[in-house]
């Protein structure tokens, strides 16, 4: 588990944001960059207000946010849970690893768009292919993280537990699982980032809702202001979810690294 960031680094973060903001205002205010490529802060604000008050394509903005979050939670939640369970078994039993490792290792580096059309053919048009795409994005990352966490369990602690008469289930529950938790939570954060990166691809599957779909649809009409608003919302939601996972990591595995 990473140590908390030292407070003295925060001014550097704020300074970086301030420099980028000044450069943004200067580039758009001077006309150096056309608005179709980079909208000004004022245009971005107006577009955000319009989306909040009027919605997009006959749907409130909150509906699009809600649909995207539901897909992320469903795909990431199922993929992370099943991947973690599978990874724990793969790390604990070599024959299970031998059965599933080829599939996991093949799926992990495979770009999600590579099997996007197959999911449409197999599952039809609707929510199923979208959620399945996000599920398959999270599954291998969570599985590999959990498997590696089990393999990094301290052999001395395992031997001590067995010497004291612990059963295999007790060894797994009280020694292996706590040792693997830091890797599992790091894997969950990585999986969430990949799922978020796949969200737009998932929502272009014959969709008409969601932030990813809104970004793609606005891009077709060169509405870069609305594209930027959608990207900003997705980014802020991603940061918020990641911070929640970090808080859970510090609370659940507070002993890690000590």
Tens of pLDDT, residue by residue over 118-128, are 888 898 888 89
Domains of the chain: 40-252 (1.10.3720.10)
User: What is the Cα–Cα distance from 160 to 127, expressed in whole angstroms?
Assistant: 49
Query: CA of 13: how far to CAs of 1, 18, 20, in Å?
Result: 21, 9, 11
Confidence of residue 63 (pLDDT cuts 50, 70, 90): very high
| Terminal CA-CA length for the chain | 9
Q: What percent of the chain has pLDDT over 70?
A: 94
pLDDT at 256: 64
Average pLDDT for the chain: 88
Counting Cα atoms < 13 Å in the Cβ hemisphere of 5 gives 9
Query: CA of 100: how far to CAs of 91, 106, 168, 194, 228, in Å?
Result: 11, 10, 22, 21, 41
Q: For residue 163, give every residue at least 6 positions away whose Cβ sits within 8 Å of its Cβ, in sequence order, or none.
A: none
What tokens appear for 106 in the block?
Answer: 């093949």
């Amino acid at each position: 588990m990473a140590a908390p960031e030292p407070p003295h680094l925060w001014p550097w973060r704020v300074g970086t944001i301030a420099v980028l903001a000044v450069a943004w205002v200067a580039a758009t205010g001077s006309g150096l960059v056309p608005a179709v490529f980079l909208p000004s802060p004022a245009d971005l604000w107006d577009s955000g207000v319009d989306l909040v008050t009027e919605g997009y394509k006959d749907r409130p903005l909150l509906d699009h946010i809600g649909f995207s979050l539901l897909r992320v939670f469903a795909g990431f939640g199922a993929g992370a849970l099943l991947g973690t369970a599978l990874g724990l078994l793969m790390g604990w039993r070599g024959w299970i690893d031998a059965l599933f490792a080829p599939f996991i290792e093949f799926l992990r580096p495979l770009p999600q768009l590579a099997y996007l059309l197959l999911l449409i053919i197999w599952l039809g048009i609707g929510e199923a292919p979208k959620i399945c795409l996000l599920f398959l994005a999270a599954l291998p990352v969570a599985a590999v993280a959990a498997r590696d966490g089990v393999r990094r369990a301290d052999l001395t602690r395992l031997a001590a537990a067995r010497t004291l008469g612990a059963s295999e289930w007790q060894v797994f529950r009280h020694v292996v699982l706590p040792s693997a938790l830091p890797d599992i939570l790091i894997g969950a954060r990585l999986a969430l980032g990949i799922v978020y990166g796949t969200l737009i691809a998932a929502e272009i599957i014959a969709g008409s809702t969601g932030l990813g779909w809104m970004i793609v649809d606005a891009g077709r009409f060169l509405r870069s202001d609305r594209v930027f608003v959608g990207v900003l919302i997705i980014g802020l939601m991603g940061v918020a979810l990641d911070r929640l996972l970090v808080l859970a990591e510090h609370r659940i595995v507070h002993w890690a690294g000590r």
